[in-house]
Amino acid sequence: MTSSTISAVSEAVQRKIINAIATELSVAPQQVSAAVALLDDGATVPFIARYRKEATGNLDDTQLRLLEERLIYLRELEERRQVILTSIGEQGKLSDELRYIIEQAATKQLLEDIYLPYKPKRRTRAQIAREAGLEPLADTLLTDPTCDPEQEAANYIKVVSAAEGVEAINVPDVKTALEGARDILAERFAETAKLLAILRNKLWQEGVVTSVVVAGQEMSEEEKFRDYYAYAEPVRLIPSHRALALFRGRALGVLRIDLDLDETSREVIPHPCVAMIAAHFKIENRGRKADKWLGDVCQWAWRVKVHPHLTAELLLQVREAAETEAIRIFSRNLRELLLAAPAGPKAVLGLDPGYRTGCKVAVVDATGKLLETTTIYPHQPQSNWQGSLASIVQLVLRHGVELISIGNGTASRETDKLATEVIRLVAEQHPELKLIKLVVSEAGASVYSASALAAAEFSNLDVSLRGAVSIARRLQDPLAELVKIEPKSIGVGQYQHDVNQRTLARSLAATVEDCVNAVGVDVNTASAPLLAQVSGLNRVLAQNIVSYRDAHGRFPNRRTILKVPRVGEKTFEQAAGFLRINDGDNPLDRSAVHPEAYPVVERILARLSKGIGQVMGHPETLKGLTAEEFTDETFGLPTVRDILSELEKPGRDPRPEFKTATFQEGIESLTDLQSGMILEGVVTNVAAFGAFVDIGVHQDGLVHVSSLANKFIKDPHQIVNKHTKPFSDNNLQELSGSVP
C-alpha cells in the first residue's frame, strides 16, 4: 500500500480509525499511529517490521499485514459514511438522531442497513403505491387494527380518465388499494435496520443451508457434486471447502441452494421470523378486523422481501468467509513452498518427464547458468532406455552434476527409475561422486516456459526445454525460481479460481514480498523478477539494477546501488537492508544490518578494539556486551539486539536445512498399494480438509484431516506443511486416505 492508494481523512476520523485498530490488535494507539504514518509515507511492511521496531513498538509482519488490511477497510467505511450522510442530507431527511446513528455504525453492513430506506432505488411497487396516495391507508391499518381493511380501502378508490389530461395512478378497486398498502408496509418492514439485525442474527445462529440437484442435472458431467444433491448443514458451521463446492455447483447450474431455519422451526405457524416481524411492530392477532390482514403482510414481507434479502446477504457472507479462508490457506502453502529448503549452489540436472515427446533434459551449474540441454526417449513408444542412460551419465560426468531434479508430472515415476539406474552406474564408475535424485513439483513450469520472461532469458531455446531448466533451478533455490511464475499458477490452493481474484492476487503478492525480504537477495546475482519483490523496488527499478550490473559489473558495496537510474535515497532506504553483497568492500553488506545502522556497528567494534572481519561470524567475541550499551536517540534496544544477532550469524537464512525423501522401490502405481503399508512421501498441498501427499504413484494421495494424528486437530497445518515428510522413519503414519 502506498500513499497514492490511501484516501485523505480528517484528523478526527484518523484518530477514530487508529483507536479501532489498536483495540482489535490489542496494542497501543501510538504503535498503530506510527505504523499508519510509515505506510502513508510509502514504507513497506517488511521494512517497517524489520527496521522500524522502535517506532511501532515491535509490531511484527503479521500484525502489520492485518493492520494494513483493516486500515483499508476502515478508510473505505469512512468514505462510504460521508457519501451516505451527504446523500441523506441532500434529501432533507438527516436529523441529528439519524446522523448520530450513522456515525456510530461500526461495519459496512450496518451502515448499508441504516441507509436502505433512504437509498435511491428503482421505482418500486411501494413507491408507486405512495404516489397513488395509499401511505395513509397503510399507516391507519398499522396503527389502528380495529379498522376494517376493506371499508377503509374503499375510501382510496380513485379512477381518473385519460381524457381529463391529468397524470395520476389509478386505484380501481379495494383489492388494488390493499395491495398497495401491503407493499408500503412490507418495504418499511424490510428496511428497518434494527429489525434486520435481529432477523439476520436469528438466521445466522439457527439457519441451515440446504442444496438439491437441479432437475435434469443428476447425470451431468458435474456428477462430482453428488454429495450435495440432498445436503443440509448449519450455515455458521460450514467449512470453507464445502461452502466453495456448493457455490461452484450452483454456478455450474447443478445445485440449487437455500437458507432457512431448520425443518422443525419452519413447520411452526407462523414462521418464527414472521412472528419476530409482527412483534417488532406490535402486531398481534387479537381478533380485530385488521389483525389477519396485518399478519398476512408480515408473512408477505418475510417471503418476498426479507428472506430473499437476508439469504443472499448471509450466503455472500459465507462465501466471503470461505474465500478468505481459502486465500489464507493458499498464502500459507505458498509461503511454505517459497521458503522450502534450498539445495544451494550445486550443479543440477533437470528432467521434465514425458512419453511420446520424450524427456527434456537441462543441466545448470552451481549459479543456475544453463550449460547444456537435450531430449531423451527412454519410455514408450521409442523405449530407448540404454541410450537414455548413456546420455544422462555423460552429462552428469561432464558437468559434475550433484543433484537430479525430476518433475512430478506424466512419466515421473518411470523417469525416477531411470535416475536410480543413472546413480547406480555413476557410483560404479566414480564411487567418490555422491549423486542424489529428487522429485519436485513442476507446477507452473509450463507457464514459465511460455512467458515473456523465459523468452527473453532463453530466446534460442525451445519452449519445451525451458521447463526442464525451471525444474532444475527450483531445486537449487525454490524462492528465486518460483518468483518468476505468477503465484496463482503454482497450484497450491483450493478452489483458487472461485475466489475474489483481486484479493487473492493482493494476498499472494504480500506473501511473496514477505518471503523474499525475509531471506534477502544477492543484488549481484538475482534476476529482475526476484529483485522486483524487494522492499521499495518494482519491475522497472529491478530491471534498471540488472541493466546497470550488466553494463558496469558487480556492485562493490550497497551505496553504489544509488548510481542505478531512478534509485533515490527513499528507495535505497526501503531496499538496502534486504539487498546483500557477498565478497564486497564492506562485510556488513552481506548481512541484514541496514546501512543507516552501520555507525552502531562501528561503536561496537571500537568497544571491542577489533575489525569487522574478526567479529562477524564469531559470536564468542560479543560475549559480555549488552544491547543497552549501544542505544541512542535513533537506535533503540530492538534494533541493537538485531544488529548483535546479525554479527553473530550474518546473513542468517530462515529456511530449513535441505533434506530428501525416498520413494519405496516397487511402489509405482495405485495397484501396488496395500492396506497397512508405511510409506515415505512429500506433502504437496495442504487444504482445510487434509493433506495431499506424493508417495510416487503418479497421483497424490489425500490424507483426511481426521487421519493426520491420533488426536483431534482442527487445522491440518498443525501437523504438516508443504514439502514436509509426514511418512518417514521419524513420523510413521498409515496412508488411510483416498486419492483425489
- Average confidence (pLDDT) over 135-150: 96
Q: What is the pLDDT of residues 495-542, one digit of tens each?
A: 777 888 888 889 999 999 999 999 999 999 999 999 999 999 999 999
Residues 112 and 130 in one domain: no
User: 403: which strand partners?
Assistant: 348, 436
Q: With pLDDT > 70 as the criterion, what percentage of the chain qualifies? A: 93
Least confident interval from 57-61, 210-214, 248-252, 409-413 = 409-413
Instruction: Indicate whether 353 pLDDT > 80.
Output: yes
Half-sphere exposure of 697 (CA within 13 A, CB side): 23
Task: Note the Cα 655 to chain centre separation in Å.
Answer: 21
Q: What is the pLDDT of residue 572?
A: 97
Domain membership of residue 314 (yes or no) is yes
Domain membership of residue 41 (yes or no) is yes
Residues 112 and 142 in one domain: no
Three state DSSP letters for 83-127 = HHHHHHHHCCCCCHHHHHHHHHCCCHHHHHHHHHHHCCCCCCHHH
Q: What is the pLDDT of residue 280?
A: 97
Q: Are 500 and 323 in contact (CB under 8 A)?
A: yes
Least confident interval from 162-176, 227-241, 265-279, 403-417 = 162-176
Q: What is the pLDDT of residue 1?
A: 41
Across the chain, mean pLDDT equals 89
Provide the residue range defining the domain that includes 726: 661-740
More confident residue, 429 or 301: 301
- Average confidence (pLDDT) over 216-223: 74
- Average confidence (pLDDT) over 621-636: 93
Consecutive H or E run containing 349: strand 348-352
- Per-residue confidence band for 54, with pLDDT thresholds at 50, 70 and 90: very high
Domain membership of residue 699 (yes or no) is yes
- Average confidence (pLDDT) over 395-412: 93
Q: What is the pLDDT of residue 610?
A: 94
Q: What is the pLDDT of residue 644?
A: 96
Residues 266 and 357 in one domain: no
Strand order in the sheet with 207-213: 230-234, 207-213, 255-261
Residues 172 and 285 in one domain: yes
Instruction: Indicate whether 432 pLDDT > 60.
Output: yes
Rounded to 5°, the CA angle 666-671-672 comes to: 25
Q: Three-state SS for 282? A: coil
Separation between Cα atoms, residue 156 and residue 127, nearest integer Å = 16
Residue that terminates a domain, selected from 62, 84, 118: 118
Separation between Cα atoms, residue 79 and residue 640, nearest integer Å = 41
What DSSP state is assigned to residue 404? E
Q: What is the CATH number of the domain that holds 316?
A: 1.10.3500.10
Task: Note the Cα 240 to chain centre separation in Å.
Answer: 13
Q: How many distinct structural domains can be found in the chain?
A: 4
Packing angle between helix 96-104 and helix 108-115, nearest 10 degrees?
160
User: 405: which strand partners?
Assistant: 350, 438
Least confident interval from 110-124, 310-324, 395-409 = 110-124
Residues 159 and 308 in one domain: yes
Q: What is the pLDDT of residues 689-733, one digit of tens each?
A: 888 887 766 577 888 888 888 788 877 877 776 544 444 333 333
- Average confidence (pLDDT) over 465-481: 94
Q: What is the pLDDT of residues 651-695, one digit of tens each?
A: 888 998 887 766 676 776 778 888 888 887 777 677 778 888 877
Residues 218 and 322 in one domain: yes
Residues 239 and 223 in one domain: yes
Domain membership of residue 618 (yes or no) is no
Domain membership of residue 381 (yes or no) is yes
Domain membership of residue 612 (yes or no) is no
Q: Are 404 and 472 in contact (CB under 8 A)?
A: no
- Average confidence (pLDDT) over 3-15: 64
Name the residue with cell 521458503.
339
DSSP output for 118-170: GS--S--HHHHHHHTT-HHHHHHHHH-TTS-HHHHHHTT-B---GGGT-----
Consecutive H or E run containing 77: helix 61-90
Q: What is the CATH number of the domain that holds 446?
A: 3.30.420.140
Read off the C-alpha cell for 473: 533451478
Q: Amino acid letter at 622?
A: L
User: 728: which strand partners?
Assistant: 731
Name the residue with cell 450522510.
85
Residues 137 and 277 in one domain: yes
User: 738: which strand partners?
Assistant: 702
- Per-residue confidence band for 162, with pLDDT thresholds at 50, 70 and 90: low
Residues 268 and 409 in one domain: no
DSSP output for 571-601: HHHHHGGGEE-TTSS-GGGGSS--GGGHHHH
Q: What is the pLDDT of residues 16-34, one digit of tens each?
A: 999 999 999 999 999 999 9
Q: What is the CATH number of the domain that holds 92?
A: 1.10.10.650
Domain membership of residue 214 (yes or no) is yes
Instruction: Indicate whether 246 pLDDT > 50.
Output: yes
Instruction: Indicate whether 165 pLDDT > 80.
Output: no
Separation between Cα atoms, residue 565 and residue 295, nearest integer Å = 75
Residues 191 and 317 in one domain: yes
Residue that terminates a domain, selected from 64, 99, 118: 118
User: 439: which strand partners?
Assistant: 406
Domain membership of residue 643 (yes or no) is no
Separation between Cα atoms, residue 577 and residue 334, nearest integer Å = 24
Give residues with Cβ within 8 angstroms of 108, minimum separation 6: 73, 76, 77, 80
Least confident interval from 258-267, 279-288, 344-353 = 258-267
Residues 145 and 285 in one domain: yes
- Average confidence (pLDDT) over 351-363: 95
Q: What is the pLDDT of residue 732?
A: 32
Q: What is the pLDDT of residue 52?
A: 96
Separation between Cα atoms, residue 289 and residue 468, nearest integer Å = 83
Residue that terminates a domain, selected from 89, 118, 147: 118
Q: Are 70 and 24 in contact (CB under 8 A)?
A: yes
The pTM assigned to this predicted structure is: 0.79
CB neighbour class for 617 (10 Å; exposed up to 12, middle 13-18, buried from 19): middle
Separation between Cα atoms, residue 143 and residue 295, nearest integer Å = 14
- Average confidence (pLDDT) over 371-391: 96
Q: What is the pLDDT of residue 213?
A: 92
Q: Which residues of 427-464 are buried (b: 16+ CB within 10 A; e: fewer)?
A: eeeeeeeebbbbbbbbbbbbbbbebeebeebbeebeeb
Q: What is the pLDDT of residues 570-604, one digit of tens each?
A: 999 999 999 999 999 999 999 999 999 999 999 99
Residues 108 and 142 in one domain: no
